[in-house]
Amino acid sequence: MSYRLAIFDFDGTLADSFPFFISVFNQIADEHGFRRVGASEAQDLRHHDTRAIMRHVGMPAWKLPLASRSFIGLMRENAARIPLFEGVREALHGLDREGVRLAIVSSNSEQNVRLVLGPHLSALFGHYECGMSVFGKAGRIRKVVKRAAVPAAHALYVGDQALDADAARRAGVAFGAVSWGYAPIETLRRVAPEREFGTPAELLHILRPPSPSHRPPV
């Protein structure tokens, strides 16, 4: 199936923010009283889901909103340091030209999303739902689908973590996994995404049905 509505996660999907996240992680850990991690350890943690990472660093659930707020504030101050992945700009313009409706559902703030995208790319997105908990995306995806007046079967949520896949499934839409984000693609294949994108340029494949040879395993 081709999709009429493409809903994007932001960090690790459109924006290459993982290096910045690692650069400020220990600062946030010290501020909120959970365990620091080394650079190599941080890379290993990419293979684990969010809850497992929280357990590993000793972060109770009630601290997550506080830590997220700190990260969002630091990112706002350093938005000029956060690049988009190479090819994202061209892919988004291509999807827009072909009539695919674009939206963003992200736990980051709308202000940060717009700062990193810049005014021209920001204007391509008809719907923004931002600033929720990483565990609260499903309801926001449903909200976007309703506002866009597109059947859920014709909507795709594109993300880079297993939590994104879970949110998409709970919202009743398909999930597209990117290979360049926070979680390795091998980890995302375990959740059997309906689409898999190897490069940002392949986001244009949203416009056409997947070939049988590229369907994800079930």
If you average pLDDT over every residue of the chain, what do you get? 91
145-158 pLDDT tens trace: 999 999 999 999 99
Residue 155 domain boundaries: 5-16+82-214
CATH number of the CATH domain containing 152 = 3.40.50.1000
Residue 100 sits at the vertex; the CA angle it makes with 99 and 106, to the nearest 5 degrees, is 145
pLDDT band at 57 (very low <50, low <70, confident <90, very high): confident
Same domain, 115 and 175: yes
Tell me the whole-structure pTM to 2 decimals: 0.90
Together in a domain, 119 and 38: no
208 and 147 within one domain: yes
Task: Clarify whether residues 66 and 171 are in a common domain.
Answer: no
Single residue among 51, 81, 111 that ends a domain in this structure: 81
| CB distance 178 to 197 below 8 Å | yes
Residues 77 and 90 reside in one and the same domain:
no
Place of tokens 């919202």: 171
pLDDT digits (tens, 9 = 90+) for 61-115: 888 889 889 999 999 999 999 999 999 999 999 999 999 999 999 999 999 999 9
101 & 197 share domain: yes
User: Which of 34, 59, 81 is at the close of a domain?
Assistant: 81
Q: Which residue has the tokens 């997105």?
A: 125
Number of domains forming the structure of the chain = 2
Query: Concatenated DSSP letters for 139-159?
Result: HHHHHHHHHHT--GGGEEEEE
- Please name the residue that has the structure tokens 């736990």: 107
> What is the amino acid identity at position 204?
L
User: 170 and 116 in one domain?
Assistant: yes
Q: Are 79 and 108 in contact (CB under 8 A)?
A: no
